[in-house]
Amino acid sequence: MSLTVAYLGPAGTFTEAALHQFELGEVAGIPVSSPGEALDLVRSGKADRAVVAVENSVDGAVTATFDALVAGKRVQIYQETSLEVAFAIMSAPGMTGPQTITTHPVAYQQIRKWVEHNLPGVSFMPATSNAAAAQMVAEGKADLAAAPAHAAEIYGLDILHNQVADVAGATTRFILVGPPGKPTPRTGSDVTSVVFTLPNEPGTLVDSLQEFAYRGVDMARIESRPTRTEMGTYRFYVDIDGHLDDPPVAEALRALYLRAKELIFVGSWPVEGRTTRHDEQKLRAANTWVARMREGQ
């Protein structure tokens, strides 16, 4: 039986390409128009998994994904993959004198300087995805699209320029999201992600982050997003090096739970190039010492 996976569509997006980098076996893709829609299909049980972009090396966090991760019933990250991203500039056959170019707003930030230099006077039109941009050109709603080269084949367009990117080697990180469950097993090269809110009191953020520092747990990333419930209140999104099964990570999260108004576990999963820096031999010795004290030894 195939796995149903929601992704930012239509066919031909970088997200669809990222989907096929995960080893999921037989997959039935469900193209949707936003990260929020993809995650909502998982929440409703209409999709087994969702693949969404979470970060790119040029423009940073994909805020629509960050907001969608906590906008409803809990979902969980199980894997991630990265994709090198460069764009093809495409048009309908015979097009001359382009006035507009369309692509996803996040993608536009990765080609903006190239467009300003090579297509002066051409106006930007936002699209819901890069492949949707190609579809808009095929339908005559825009003159040019910046999209994966494969989208030109799908929509019968001509590629005018290929491998366009303001920053060579730019990458986008994609996550595989599903319903809550047992985390992906520890590999020793893992990341754990949580989202939390704090009491509106002086020093609460510093004190909370110190819980990681006290235990030698490195933070790989921290972002803040408005809660959208009250002015001046924020959710903090934190990725930390290590797995929930690593004792220092578990202890730090336990301490954070005691400080936070709300703490949401987003997942523990393997990430290439991450190594946990915990001295496991010393940790085992510490656990043995505590056990001996409990026994009066």
Q: Would you name the residues annotated as active-site residues?
A: 172, 174
CA distance 6 to 68: 14
For residue 109, what are the β-bridge partners?
none
Three-state SS for 23? Answer: coil
CA distance 154 to 133: 12
101 and 119 in contact (C-beta within 8 Å)? yes
- Token look-up 């994609």 returns 174
Torsional sign, CA 241, 243, 248, 254: positive
- Token look-up 């980098």 returns 21
CA distance 164 to 205: 41
Identify the burial level of 57 via C-beta atoms within 10 angstroms of its C-beta, where 0-12 means exposed, 13-18 middle and 19 or more buried: middle
**Which strands sit side by side in the sheet containing 144-147, from one edge to the other?**
123-126, 100-103, 144-147, 87-91, 158-164
Q: What does R_g of the chain's alpha carbons equal in angstroms?
A: 22
Strand 100-103 to 123-126 pairing: parallel
Three-state SS for 115? Answer: helix
Which residue from 53, 48, 41 is spatially nearest to 27, judged by alpha carbons?
A: 48
